[in-house]
Every structure is written in C-alpha cells, then in structure tokens.
Amino acid sequence: MPALPGLLRHLRGALRGFGVERIWAPWRRAYVEAGGGDGCIFCEKPARGDDRAAHIVRRGRTCFSMLNRFPYNGGHMMVAPFRHAASLDALVADELAELFAMVRDSISLLAGKVRPDGFNVGMNLGRAAGAGVAGHLHVHVVPRWDGDTNFMPVAAGVKVIPQSLDEMHALLTVP
C-alpha cells in the first residue's frame, strides 16, 4: 500500500482543477489500513455479548445478522453462522436453513425500515473471490436506491453514508 498516498495526492491535485471539493471520511481509514489480523469478527463479536456495541441486529439459534462496519451503503448487513465455517458444504442442514431464513428476514427488515429500491445479496467465498474474512462464510445484504451510485465512489474513491452505524442499529432493533 505504499503507493496509495502518492496516488491519492495525485488524484486530489487533478480534481482541484475541476473545482471538486473534498469530503472527509476519516472513518474509512480503518478499512483501508485493516490488516485482517488473526481473529475472526464473526466469531469474536457474538461472543462478547454486547450486541449494541457489535452492531448485531438479530440472533438466531445457529446464525446472526450484524451491520457491516465498512458498509457499501447505509444498512449494509451481513448474515453468518455462529460456527466458524468457510463453505456452504461445511454447514449442517439447520445452519443452512437458518442462514437463508435470516437473509430473507434481513431483507424484510430493511425493506420496512429504510425502504430501499432494491438489494444486492451475495457471498464472496474465498480470498480470490474478494472475501475479507475468507475463513468464515457470510452473506452480504446491501440495500440499494435508484441513483445511489454516482461520481463520488468512481472519481474520488469516497462513499458518503449519511447515517452512523449506531443510528442504523437503533433503527433496526426497535421492535
């Protein structure tokens, strides 16, 4: 990543000529610098027992849903089994059934609370497929709105998300 600061300086300089203003998103720095340590967030966060601090939205018998700390859009959730498993083949029937029931329930919850125009739902299985946590499978549920992709992520590498994780967690966990 040593070339990244130079590239960012170059882009900032190039964009100044177009009258583009900077939007600071310092919380994204943690994502850029995340080294993927030795632990597993999908094992550690539920074990802590503080669902509010971990942004865990729902717990089932074998699976749980949580907000993504580095969301693509507001309300970006992930659904994972409690048990550390890297592939769908490693899940037993009850885990597999609950995983997809919880994906369905997450879509319903988000549809009712944040009213998106659509959803992206998917898994990145393995590091080569883009999995940030390759050893513990999880399903992404990403709310999408018409026009939510604009010049900011493309030209400036910045995604503006107007609601904090704490606010979104409170919204989604209110009965």
As annotated, the active-site residues are 138
Can you tell me which residue has the tokens 């709105």?
145
Q: CA–CA distance from 143 to each of 2, 132, 137, 151 (Å)? A: 33, 20, 20, 19
| Positive or negative: CA dihedral 15, 72, 123, 136 | positive
In a 13 Å sphere around the CA of 98, the CA atoms on its Cβ side amount to 17
118-121 long-range contacts, CB within 8 A, separation 24+? 118/143, 118/144, 118/145, 119/143, 119/144, 120/72, 120/144
Report d(CA 70, CA 21) in Å as an integer. 23
Q: Is 110 helix (H, G, I), strand (E, B) or coil?
A: helix
